[in-house]
DNA sequence: ATGAAAGCGCTAACAC
DNA sequence: GTGTTAGCGCTTTCAT
């Protein structure tokens, strides 16, 4: 078994001290006016011995690891795995590695992960928090570890975040549904008391209000961004007496579950029921009924967050408390039935595109 | 800013040496017969000061970091993000963290990532290698860092791996196509010279051979597991003079790209062309034409690989060279047209299920 | 039953 | 221009 080369090994070969070697290898040759000759000797020996520094020792000494934590509630959700991809890529380009933690939408796991990352001395944290409580996040804050939130944030705790403008997204989508003549619309929500969910519910309600449509609180159902939730709630919705004519699914996974329920009940979109879903996915346009969706800019969100975090780290500011909201896009396809006698008011102010 | 508590801090508060504290906190109290009293003192102080060990220092000393590397060619591909999820989860349960690296199907990035992970002193590596060359993987091997391959392996270099039985999967799927009366079948392959691709192409060819069907080498096209490849190749395929009646897509992303091409050309599945795809996805059954797919056991692959790796680490074996092949399942849906005058021979030996 | 000291591999302050 | 030394926070051998 080959052991790693250390500075000491090089020092033995070339006859200089480890400090000089460290200096040369860290590009400080001119600053210390190290002779061309020793420089070459050292560089050659390092290459020959295939030296590369032990990052544990370096981190311990420097208090800097070039490592970021990324905590996500569900890495298998394409919305988050897309973000993970750009976070990793962008971080890598700037010299950082990523420790990945999946919180499974569980605050306890999330809190443990944060502690674990602190113990591993990450330089910064990117997190899509479960989002229902914030206390455990303050631990990084207390320790001066910069943090940037993705997707979910806390209105009453000032941490930098990058997210979609979920309020507008939901407002626009719901308005579109209403313009198409729907007045009895259900919303299958994600995890309650998280910012995206709160914002979306708010947009959903405000759209009704704008159009002067009363709505039934019992039509806001569910409590998870997962597929199961979509399945269960759709099952229940279609069995109601006064069933909705349209359903707004709060995430891509929810709509998948909802589709499964509809298949079982032999109900067709949009003839039997209209649908619209948050999160556009590559497959959305190829579904049996191409799905009208609210598209989020996942890649931009991830890249921006990473950029902000690394800036924070490298400028030694803990943070500039600011939130960034990226616009969503309503992509109209065929999953919403236009109810004939609807008065299309054109009040939806939708920046929609077709695809 | 709150600084982390160290053993020294505790030592100052309780009046004992750091060694004793380390012993107590590592559960070695009985072995060193440390008095109940000091034990309690130490435990209380540790809790009070909210101590948790610096893993950099610990790792440096112990030569053990409880950290695994996971290198994947594309974390945004649901096949891999599903694997990442179970790898992370299972590793976490056993006390390990994951450093995530995305190689972007690029051997140079992969090689850099491996070096980076070695420098970070990972205890073991799980990797879905790009797979075309193996040399840079030997570096972990040389350093006695256990490694387990996922999805792709090297027939001529003995590293443990967990993968699907891609040969049988492709054989079964192609046989099914042939049984349905197709004789002119294209295969849009993934990255050439990778084990899954080699195996699938072999299965594809052998199916033809088994049925005594000659086939046209020019019908094996493409060279990437990505969406773009599926798009481009399908575009070209349908414009050929003697175009295939069925297309076998080598991955979920390839089939998505192929679907895009067909949409542009206004061609319908299966009326104009039949399709079958590797990788079942939750949306596969909800597509305009529910897609017949070869389903892989992603979660099992990930969990098995993680278990094997951690066993290797904890038993100090470098590895037991063995490969595990998990069966695939052909899920028949509606994307394959049954050509009327086909003689269904039933020779496919398919363990297929319906969904 | 506990402490002192060495050392993991690195960098930087302080020599000269 | 380069070496010596200290120290990051931890575990462990060797003392007592």
* Cα distance between residue B5 and residue A346, in whole Å: 61
User: B261, B234 in Cβ contact below 8 A?
Assistant: yes
**Domain match, B203 and B344 both:** yes
**Which residues of chain A, if any, have pLDDT below 70?**
318-321, 341-355
**Domain match, B192 and B230 both:** yes
Residues in chain B: 355
CA of B18, C1' of C5: distance in angstroms: 12
How many other C-beta atoms can be found within 10 angstroms of the C-beta atom of residue A165?
Answer: 17
Q: Is residue A1, in this structure, part of any structural domain at all?
A: no
A-to-B residue pairs, Cβ atoms closer than 8 angstroms: 154
User: A99, A70 in Cβ contact below 8 A?
Assistant: yes
| Residue in this structure with the two tokens 């066993």, named with its chain if needed | B311
User: B154, A89 in Cβ contact below 8 A?
Assistant: no
* Residue closest to A178 by CA, chosen among A198, A206, A156: A206
* Residue closest to B170 by CA, chosen among B143, B150, B146, B190: B190
* Cα distance between residue B134 and residue B147, in whole Å: 13
* Cα distance between residue A252 and residue A316, in whole Å: 38
* Cα distance between residue B116 and residue A274, in whole Å: 50
CATH of the domain at B12: 1.10.260
- Shortest alpha-carbon distance between residue A248 and chain B (Å): 18
- Shortest alpha-carbon distance between residue A77 and chain B (Å): 8
**Domain match, A185 and A102 both:** no
Could you give the C-alpha distances from B103 to A92, A143, B131, in angstroms and in order?
A: 10, 32, 11
* Contact state of A84 with B74 under an 8 Å Cβ cutoff: no
Instruction: For residue B88, give the nearest of A1, A82, A100 by CB distance.
Output: A100
Could you give the C-alpha distances from B351 to B203, B254, B330, in angstroms and in order?
A: 15, 24, 7
Q: What is the per-residue pLDDT for B341?
A: 63
Instruction: For residue B53, give the nearest of A74, A92, A119 by CB distance.
Output: A119
* Contact state of B288 with A287 under an 8 Å Cβ cutoff: yes
- Shortest alpha-carbon distance between residue A101 and chain B (Å): 7
Distance from chain centroid for Cα A115: 20
* Cα distance between residue B124 and residue B118, in whole Å: 9
User: B10, B42 in Cβ contact below 8 A?
Assistant: yes
**Domain match, B25 and B97 both:** no
3-state secondary structure chain A: CCCCCCHHHHHHHCCCCHHHHHHHHCCCCCCCCCCHHHHHHHHHHHHHCCCCCCHHHHHHHHCCCCEEEEEECCCCCHHHHHHHHHHHHHHHHCCCEEEEEECCCCHHHHHHHHHHHHHCCCCEEEECCCCCCCHHHHHHHHCCCCEEEECCCCCCCCCCEEEECHHHHHHHHHHHHHHCCCCCEEEECCCCCCHHHHHHHHHHHHHHHHCCCCCCHHHEECCCCCHHHHHHHHHHHHCCCCCCCEEEECCHHHHHHHHHHHHHCCCCCCCCCEEEEECCCCCHHHECCCCEEEECCHHHHHHHHHHHHHHHHHHCCCCCCCEEEECCEEEECCCCCCCCCCCCCCCCCCCCEEC
Reported as a single tens digit per residue, the pLDDT across A217-275 is: 999 999 999 999 999 999 999 999 999 999 999 999 999 999 999 999 999 999 999 99
Token pair, residue B38, equals 């000091």
Q: What is the per-residue pLDDT for A273?
A: 97
Task: Look at residue B249 and give its three-state secondary structure.
Answer: strand
Beta carbons within 8 Å of B83's beta carbon, 6+ residues apart: B72, B128, B150, B151, B298, B299, B301, B302
CA of A29, C1' of C16: distance in angstroms: 19
Q: What is the per-residue pLDDT for A353?
A: 46
Per-residue pLDDT for chain B (355 aa), expressed as one digit of tens each?
Answer: 788 999 999 999 999 999 999 999 999 888 888 888 899 999 999 999 999 999 999 999 999 999 999 999 999 999 999 999 999 999 999 999 999 999 999 999 999 999 999 999 999 999 999 988 999 998 888 898 999 999 999 988 889 999 999 999 999 999 999 999 999 999 999 999 999 999 999 999 999 999 999 889 999 999 999 999 999 999 999 999 999 999 999 999 999 999 999 999 999 999 999 999 999 999 999 999 999 999 999 999 999 999 999 999 999 876 666 899 999 999 999 999 999 765 555 443 334 444 5
* Contact state of B55 with A121 under an 8 Å Cβ cutoff: yes
A65 CB closer than 7 A to any strand D atom: no
Q: Is residue B260, in this structure, part of any structural domain at all?
A: yes
Report yes or no: A54 at the B interface, CB cutoff 8 Å.
yes
Q: Is residue B232, in this structure, part of any structural domain at all?
A: yes
Omega prior to A270 cis, within 30 of 0: yes
Q: What is the per-residue pLDDT for B145?
A: 94
**Domain match, B44 and B127 both:** no
* Contact state of A287 with B287 under an 8 Å Cβ cutoff: yes
B2 CB closer than 7 A to any strand C atom: no
B11 CB closer than 7 A to any strand D atom: no
**Domain match, B26 and B115 both:** no
Best mutation target, B54, B76, B136, to test chain A (most A CBs within 10 A): B76
**Domain match, B234 and B347 both:** yes
Q: Is residue A58, in this structure, part of any structural domain at all?
A: no
**Domain match, A125 and A146 both:** yes
Which bases on strand C have an atom closer than 7 Å to a protein beta carbon? Answer: 1-5, 7-13
Token pair, residue A44, equals 């050659």
Phi, psi of A186 (to 5 degrees): -100, 150
**Domain match, B285 and B309 both:** no
* Cα distance between residue A283 and residue A297, in whole Å: 16
Report yes or no: B269 at the A interface, CB cutoff 8 Å.
no
* Contact state of B118 with A65 under an 8 Å Cβ cutoff: no
CA of B35, C1' of D11: distance in angstroms: 20
Question: How close are the terminal C-alpha atoms of chain A, in Å?
Answer: 57
Distance from chain centroid for Cα B317: 23
Distance from chain centroid for Cα A89: 14
* Contact state of B101 with A88 under an 8 Å Cβ cutoff: yes
Q: What is the per-residue pLDDT for B245?
A: 96
Instruction: Fill in the DSSP letter of residue B337.
Output: P
User: A66, A310 in Cβ contact below 8 A?
Assistant: no
Q: Is residue A60, in this structure, part of any structural domain at all?
A: no
Q: Which residue is nearest to nucleotide D8 (CA to C1')?
A: A61
Q: Is residue A316, in this structure, part of any structural domain at all?
A: yes
* Cα distance between residue B50 and residue B29, in whole Å: 20
Q: Is residue A157, in this structure, part of any structural domain at all?
A: yes
Report yes or no: B286 at the A interface, CB cutoff 8 Å.
yes
Q: What is the per-residue pLDDT for A319?
A: 65
* Contact state of A52 with B118 under an 8 Å Cβ cutoff: yes
* Cα distance between residue A245 and residue B124, in whole Å: 53
* Domains in chain A, number: 3
Q: What is the per-residue pLDDT for A7?
A: 95
Q: What is the per-residue pLDDT for B60?
A: 97
Instruction: For residue A115, give the nearest of B52, B89, B121 by CB distance.
Output: B52
**Domain match, A156 and A211 both:** no
B33 CB closer than 7 A to any strand C atom: yes
Q: What is the per-residue pLDDT for A355?
A: 52
* Cα distance between residue A119 and residue A171, in whole Å: 42
Which bases on strand D have an atom closer than 7 Å to a protein beta carbon? Answer: 1-5, 7-13
Residue in chain A nearest B112 by alpha carbon:
A92
* Cα distance between residue A69 and residue A51, in whole Å: 27
Token pair, residue B53, equals 């060990």
Domain of B291 in residue numbering reads as 166-297+330-351
* Cα distance between residue A317 and residue A299, in whole Å: 25
Q: What is the per-residue pLDDT for B346?
A: 46
A121 CB closer than 7 A to any strand C atom: no
Q: Is residue B158, in this structure, part of any structural domain at all?
A: yes
CATH of the domain at A259: 3.40.50.2300
**Domain match, A147 and A263 both:** no
Beta carbons within 8 Å of A129's beta carbon, 6+ residues apart: A71, A73, A103, A110, A137, A149, A152
Q: What is the per-residue pLDDT for A102?
A: 98
Token pair, residue B351, equals 């363990």
Strand order in the sheet with A220-221: A220-221, A185-188, A246-249, A274-278, A292-295, A329-332, A353-354
* CB-CB neighbors (< 8 A) of A76 in chain B: 78, 81-82, 84-85
**Domain match, A213 and A157 both:** no
Q: What is the per-residue pLDDT for A341?
A: 63
Best mutation target, A120, A231, A252, A253, to test chain B (most B CBs within 10 A): A120
A13 CB closer than 7 A to any strand C atom: no
User: B309, B148 in Cβ contact below 8 A?
Assistant: yes
């Amino acid at each position: 078994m080959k052991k790693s080369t250390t500075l000491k090994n090089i020092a033995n070969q070339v006859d200089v001290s480890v400090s000089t070697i460290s200096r040369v290898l860290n590009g400080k040759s001119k600053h210390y006016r190290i002779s061309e000759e020793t420089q070459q000797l050292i560089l050659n020996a390092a290459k020959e011995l295939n030296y590369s520094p032990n990052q544990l020792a370096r981190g311990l000494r420097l208090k800097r690891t070039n490592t970021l934590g990324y905590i996500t509630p569900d890495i298998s959700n394409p919305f988050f795995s897309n973000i993970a991809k750009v976070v990793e890529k962008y971080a890598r380009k700037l010299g950082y590695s990523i420790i990945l933690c999946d919180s499974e939408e569980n605050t306890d796991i999330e809190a443990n992960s944060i502690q674990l990352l602190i113990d591993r001395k990450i330089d910064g944290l990117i997190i899509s928090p479960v989002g229902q409580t914030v206390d455990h996040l303050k631990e990084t804050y207390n320790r001066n570890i910069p943090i940037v939130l993705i997707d979910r944030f806390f209105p009453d705790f000032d941490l930098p975040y990058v997210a979609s403008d979920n309020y507008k997204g939901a407002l626009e989508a719901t308005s579109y549904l209403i313009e198409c003549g729907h007045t009895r619309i259900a919303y299958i929500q994600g995890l309650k008391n998280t910012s995206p969910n709160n914002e979306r519910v708010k947009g959903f309600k405000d759209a009704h209000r704008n159009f002067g449509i009363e709505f039934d609180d019992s039509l806001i159902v569910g409590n998870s961004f997962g597929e199961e939730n979509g399945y269960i709630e759709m099952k229940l919705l279609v069995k109601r007496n006064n069933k909705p004519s349209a359903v707004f699914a709060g995430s891509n996974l929810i709509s998948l579950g909802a589709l499964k329920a509809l298949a079982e009940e032999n109900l067709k979109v949009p003839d039997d029921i209209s649908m619209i879903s948050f999160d556009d996915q590559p497959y959305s346009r190829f579904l049996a009924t191409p799905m009208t969706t609210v598209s989020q800019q996942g890649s931009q969100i991830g890249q921006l967050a990473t950029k902000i975090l690394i800036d924070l780290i490298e400028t030694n500011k803990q943070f500039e408390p600011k939130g960034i909201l990226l616009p969503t896009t309503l992509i109209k396809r065929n999953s919403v039935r236009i109810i004939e006698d609807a008065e299309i008011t054109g009040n939806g102010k939708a920046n929609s595109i077709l695809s």
